[in-house]
Structure 1
Amino acid sequence: MDALLLPLIVACPLLAAGVLFLSAGRMPPLPSCVIGAGSVGLSALMAVVLAIGFLQTPPPTGALHATLWSWMQVEGFSARIAFMLDPLSLVMMLVVTGVGFLILLYACGYMHDDPDIARFFGCMTLFVAAMLVLVFSSDLLSLYIGWEGVGICSYLLIGFWHTDTANVTAARKAFIVTRIGDAAMLCGLLLLATRAGTLDVASVLQTVTTRPADLQAAIAAFLLLGGAVAKSAQVPLQTWLPDAMAGPTPVSALIHAATMVTAGVYLIARLHPLFASIPVAMTAVALIGLITLLLAAGSALVQTDIKRILAYSTMSQIGYMFLALGTGAWQAAIFHLVTHAFFKALLFMAAGAIILRVHHRQDIYQMGGLAHAMPGVFAAFLAGSAALAGLPLLTAGFYSKEMILQGAWHADPMLWAGALLGAFATAIYIFRCVFIVFFGPRHTEPHGRTGAIMAIPLVCLAVLALTGGWMEMPDAIAPVHLLSNLLSPLFGAPMPEGPHWLLWAGSLVPLAGIGVAWMLWQPRTGTRTPPENALARLARAGWDFDTLYDVLIVRPFTTLGQLNQTDICDRLSDATAATARAGGRVFGRMQSGQVRRYAGWIAAGTVVALCLGVRP
């Protein structure tokens, strides 16, 4: 029965997507919401039942398998469509279905008056199905199908409001940048297939552990890292994520906060023996994470669009996960993945509620004084902000970030110092947003109220953002290690905890950041206008990575194309086309419609044929 639930959990949103797409957009809002949110809710219910059964009676092999069919089998290679539930995929399953259901429920209220609501829920449920295929797959080739599935759904949802050219441009940019990583990942998978003769995860990892790492394995690891970097919006392929905020807010909450951008983290964690066997790859993962978390935090400090602040925050927090992976703190990375899904989805959804009530304005400097006008939304946003900042003892973000800091300390104190600086900047930029949006003079008068169907998910996620960290705590606070115990069969024992002063440092730095934010942006004496200097403009533009790529890649490519317009290949094709046109004109003149001329041509042809026939 448990093995049957695995494909059923995927089938529910997949069938819902089929029904919604087949309606060709003619399905009314209520049935669209019921089918969309209901299918994911049913998957979440089955996921809870499956998780309870898995935890109560673990499979003898440590994983539950369900083989659907054999995809291909040739000499030296085989691939299957098969699902696997182990501790890692169990955690991801609960995050994708549980948080996904709350976001789709919220979307029922947010998108209720959109004429294309059926198409919206079709894309959202298809995304959930693709993400579940990604996390369940026990074969890397079928994992790649889910990987590409979430990519195409992301493209469709970012450009959902396609009548706006900016949205289409953002969707195309996300598609192209992530395709770069996808191509690298495919090459890495092909190298692994030639090395192991299969892409079955267990067989690939067994080959890694039994054969010493060589150049081929190292190249494969770096190619897979390229795929993870693009999908998770890490430096240097991070430029697509801020522009992806062009999509509806529920899209940002689901795809670009809670699920898709964590696919790269999941991939590295799933193949952790491969990366652990190549120290230079581990160092690269850690450095990419550290650089991304600092650069993204710096950009978030000066953004004025509330959704772009949260977008850069997502990049920064994924950077923390990469840092944890690169230091071998596997449990810490997955722990932060879970808590980040709670508080970042909450922040995006609260931001969406604010945007709806302030006439779709997103500039934080056009808001202000909203704490009294929308106290419920303020409480939800404050809970998410406290969790993001890592407010000590009270929030889930504190416990997961503290676990990452402990792992960074054991790997290299310089990495720990950089991560601590990122935590300080995180507290500043998110509470800058809180103080400007909810306190001070009111610049826009809000209207309406947040309905219950949007409020219920906010309440649920606020509770999780505050209490979700209780599953894993430092021994100095409480010896609770539920998540580590669950993941230890896969990753081994977690890293030992460092000295107690590390815990104190990790607790005081977020408080110091909140204090700095209060001094700079408090309602009465703080600065209420965005900074305008060269450094602020550079950070607001995402450190001008787009300009750099335009100069180094786009312009040389287009220039080369223009210079190469008349090369030999073009001339051959032009000559072929000219010959065809000339021949067409000649034969066109022969078709005059005059019977006498046709008879003459027949007679002439007959004479020529007779001459050839009687020639000696």
Structure 2
Amino acid sequence: MIFIGLAWLIPIFPAIAFLFISFITKRFKPVSAVIAIAGMGLSLIFSLGVFYEVITSGVSINQPVEYAVSWLSVPINIGAGVLIDPLTAIMLLIVTFIGLLVEIYSLGYMQNDPGFSRFFANLSLFSSSMLGLVIANNYFQMFFFWELVGLCSYLLIGFYFHKPSAARASKKAFIANRVGDFGFLLGILCLFIAFGTFNFRELAVSIPVYSNVLFLIIAALLIFAGPVAKSAQFPLHVWLPDAMEGATPVSALIHAATMVAAGVYLIARGYILFSSLHEVSLVIAYIGGITAFMAGTIALVQRDLKRILAFSTMSQLGYMIMAMGVGGFTAGIFHLTSHAFFKALLFLGAGSIIHAVGVQDIFKMGGLIKKMKITSWTFIIGSLALAGIPPLSGFFSKDEILSVTYEHGYRFLYYLGLFTAFLTAFYMARLVFIVFFGQERQKNPVHKTPWNMKLPLIILSVFAVFYGFLSKTFASYIYFQAAKGIEPNLIIMSESVAAAFGGIILSWLIYGKQVVSSEALSVRFKPIHQLLFNQYYFNELYNWLYERIVSNISRFFHWCDRKIVDGIFDNTTFLIKRMGIKLRLVNSGSVQNYAFIFFIAIAFIILWLAAPILGGI
């Protein structure tokens, strides 16, 4: 198993590319791009090798390959290692493959950008961090790369740092994730206190026999806070729509293969902890279901092309989290990988559209099917896959989630997911009918899309069409404890397809045939429209909480720091300073002063010695 033994090199290649670009080739744009693409290409080759060896050697999640070295030994011993199993192998393949396509696409998209080399350097570090997270064999190592992923997202979301909106978005993403990451850190420390290890395999043996269930629940919920933030789940979801301020290739990478996927991957990697606690599983399932529904409703009324796709990502991540909560390990990971292809396709397609027309408001676009054939048809394929139309990949993966939810008795979540499928089909059809088949609104000529932007779209569209047919093969390799394939349920399948086609037909009536005026509907249901357009006012709520509570608490501590703490130290230093002023006269360096002090001292000594004699007289 050559490639498995060298799997530690997979995150190293893009890391080396980052260093070369940052310190050597930054001024040479073509060289920087070649180095970044070469680094990711090598990682992809090694990932393919790892995947092949895992599939052919019988390595499973129950029997992984692991090797490690000592990383930290003071004050506790922490190892740094590699854990290879089918879950690791498929994630390595997804990250490197989509990362490579995004970098090729960026050759055209970022061609005239003055920060070209900096962009490719940050992309390389971002990919390296995600790959390091995927191969980690313990929570501590994962947390290290988890934070690096957060740092890279900060750099890439705020890539256009001269724009105030981009600077605010990057800080918002960074702060929201720090909230979840603080819980994640506390959770893994709780596990270390209980078991004395961060290692996944050692914890998998110890957790099922641990008796303090309440402590485990607390630890699991704290760890789950990490995925809630990283995968933009309710209530820490507010950062993801604003993250669209970054360049569109960044959005594709974040939404398809890296940052938001990290949260779902963490739940899968620590599944032995979450699945052994029914209460925690319920929390996970309902958080996912609520997020899927909430994000789906918000996407109905958005105008910005990238924001519609961002809320779509939140909704689909909700599906994956819900699947994990209800016991659908295989279904959740299958949808994660399936979603990666068509969501990367949609974001890169959106970038191609924005590159061509120069706007992001879908109501300022129209008729693009006549001018951008490849972009239009590949985007439509991605939209149909996302909507769950058979036989595209999204149909198979979403249907498995609905099936496992229904089969395990979560009827409310099943119907919530079914209605969300209807919403998904509706808002994606709305986007397609307006942008590609609607009235032409753009006045400026449409710019041509270069080949290096079209090629990734074509490749991803092929996977969006055919990847779903691998569902049975996928389930035979990616499973938890025992392979559990959900047999096709024709009733559930029919209901999901009916929901998808129902959403498309209703959208066609409103935005295609215009049987009903969308403007009239928004006026008639203005309170609901405003509620959804303003994202349930979560941003306003958090701003209010910050201004009224957090800010006041901060001002109180600031007052304590300045008036009490500083006052104590300032007065102490003032007293010492005054004492020093007086005492320094003793060592003034003046011979006259020393003679005077000497004379006074002798006089006092003489008087002290003469006092008894004088008293006798």
The equivalent of 1:149 in structure 2 is: 148
2:193 equivalent to 1:194? yes
The equivalent of 1:477 in structure 2 is: none
Give the AA of the match of 1:143: M
2:166 equivalent to 1:170? no
CA deviations on 1:255-297 (whole Å, 9 max, x unpaired) are 1333210111111111111111110100000100010001100
Correspondence for 1:407 among 404, 424, 431: 404
- Kindly state the Cα deviation for residue 498 of structure 1 after the two structures are TM-superposed: 6.4
Contact 1:170–1:243, Cα closer than 8 Å, also in 2: yes
The equivalent of 1:396 in structure 2 is: 393
The equivalent of 2:477 in structure 1 is: 486
Change (3 A) 1:184 1:564: closer
CA–CA distance in 1 between the matches of 2:26 and 2:374? Answer: 35
The equivalent of 2:279 in structure 1 is: 280
Q: Aligned to 2:81, what secondary structure does the other structure show?
A: strand
CA–CA distance in 2 between the matches of 1:588 and 1:79? Answer: 53
Change (3 A) 1:79 1:535: same
Contact 1:299–1:539, Cα closer than 8 Å, also in 2: yes
- Kindly state the Cα deviation for residue 38 of structure 1 after the two structures are TM-superposed: 1.8
The equivalent of 2:49 in structure 1 is: 49
CA–CA distance in 2 between the matches of 1:204 and 1:392? Answer: 40
The equivalent of 2:469 in structure 1 is: 470
Give the AA of the match of 2:325: G
Q: Which runs of 4 or more aligned residues in structure 1 lie more than 6 Å from their structure 2 counterparts after TM superposition?
A: 581-591
Q: Aligned to 2:77, what secondary structure does the other structure show?
A: strand
CA deviations on 1:315-363 (whole Å, 9 max, x unpaired) are 000000011001101000000000110011100000000001112x100
CA deviations on 1:230-252 (whole Å, 9 max, x unpaired) are 11000010000000110000110
Correspondence for 1:607 among 571, 591, 596: 596
- Kindly state the Cα deviation for residue 500 of structure 1 after the two structures are TM-superposed: 2.0
Q: Aligned to 1:428, what secondary structure does the other structure show?
A: helix
Correspondence list, 1:142-541, <5 A:
142-212=141-211, 214-359=213-358, 361-393=359-391, 395-411=392-408, 412-444=410-442, 445-472=444-471, 481-488=472-479, 490-494=480-484, 496-497=486-487, 499-522=489-512, 525=515, 527=517, 531=522, 533-541=526-534
CA–CA distance in 2 between the matches of 1:535 and 1:328? Answer: 34
- Kindly state the Cα deviation for residue 369 of structure 1 after the two structures are TM-superposed: 1.1
Correspondence list, 1:17-32, <5 A:
17-23=18-24, 26-32=26-32
Q: Aligned to 2:344, what secondary structure does the other structure show?
A: helix
The equivalent of 2:134 in structure 1 is: 135
Contact 1:346–1:384, Cα closer than 8 Å, also in 2: yes
CA–CA distance in 2 between the matches of 1:11 and 1:422? Answer: 40
- Kindly state the Cα deviation for residue 97 of structure 1 after the two structures are TM-superposed: 0.5
- Kindly state the Cα deviation for residue 66 of structure 1 after the two structures are TM-superposed: 3.4
- Kindly state the Cα deviation for residue 496 of structure 1 after the two structures are TM-superposed: 3.7
Q: CA RMSD in A?
A: 2.5
The equivalent of 2:611 in structure 1 is: none
Q: Aligned to 2:67, what secondary structure does the other structure show?
A: strand
CA–CA distance in 1 between the matches of 2:447 and 2:559? Answer: 62
Change (3 A) 1:28 1:565: closer
Q: Aligned to 2:537, what secondary structure does the other structure show?
A: helix
Give the AA of the match of 2:57: T
2:554 equivalent to 1:561? yes
Give the AA of the match of 1:389: A
Give the AA of the match of 2:132: V
Contact 1:439–1:523, Cα closer than 8 Å, also in 2: no
- Kindly state the Cα deviation for residue 566 of structure 1 after the two structures are TM-superposed: 4.0
- Kindly state the Cα deviation for residue 506 of structure 1 after the two structures are TM-superposed: 1.4
Give the AA of the match of 2:254: I
Contact 1:353–1:450, Cα closer than 8 Å, also in 2: yes
Contact 1:108–1:453, Cα closer than 8 Å, also in 2: yes
Change (3 A) 1:54 1:572: closer
CA–CA distance in 1 between the matches of 2:365 and 2:416? Answer: 33
Change (3 A) 1:388 1:600: closer
The equivalent of 2:539 in structure 1 is: 546
Correspondence list, 1:570-581, <5 A:
570-574=563-567, 576-577=569-570
The equivalent of 1:66 in structure 2 is: 67
CA–CA distance in 2 between the matches of 1:162 and 1:588? Answer: 51
Give the AA of the match of 1:20: I
Q: Aligned to 2:413, what secondary structure does the other structure show?
A: helix
CA–CA distance in 2 between the matches of 1:41 and 1:124? Answer: 13
Contact 1:410–1:498, Cα closer than 8 Å, also in 2: no
Contact 1:407–1:495, Cα closer than 8 Å, also in 2: no
Give the AA of the match of 1:436: I
- Kindly state the Cα deviation for residue 368 of structure 1 after the two structures are TM-superposed: 0.9
CA–CA distance in 2 between the matches of 1:426 and 1:442? Answer: 25
CA–CA distance in 1 between the matches of 2:333 and 2:595? Answer: 85
Change (3 A) 1:22 1:585: farther
Contact 1:29–1:117, Cα closer than 8 Å, also in 2: yes
Change (3 A) 1:37 1:86: same
Q: Aligned to 2:253, what secondary structure does the other structure show?
A: helix
Q: Give the fraction of aligned pairs with identical amino acids, expressed as a percent.
A: 36
Is there any run of 5+ residues in structure 1 with no aligned partner, and where?
Answer: 473-480, 592-597
Contact 1:213–1:278, Cα closer than 8 Å, also in 2: no
Is there any run of 5+ residues in structure 2 with no aligned partner, and where?
Answer: 609-617
Q: Aligned to 1:371, what secondary structure does the other structure show?
A: helix
CA–CA distance in 2 between the matches of 1:581 and 1:137? Answer: 53
* Farther off after superposition, 207-216 or 248-257: 207-216
CA deviations on 1:124-178 (whole Å, 9 max, x unpaired) are 1111111111110111111111111100000010001100111111100100010
Give the AA of the match of 2:40: V
Correspondence list, 1:586-605, <5 A:
603-605=592-594
2:104 equivalent to 1:113? no
Contact 1:402–1:503, Cα closer than 8 Å, also in 2: yes
CA–CA distance in 2 between the matches of 1:324 and 1:41? Answer: 32
Contact 2:256–2:341, Cα closer than 8 Å, also in 1: no
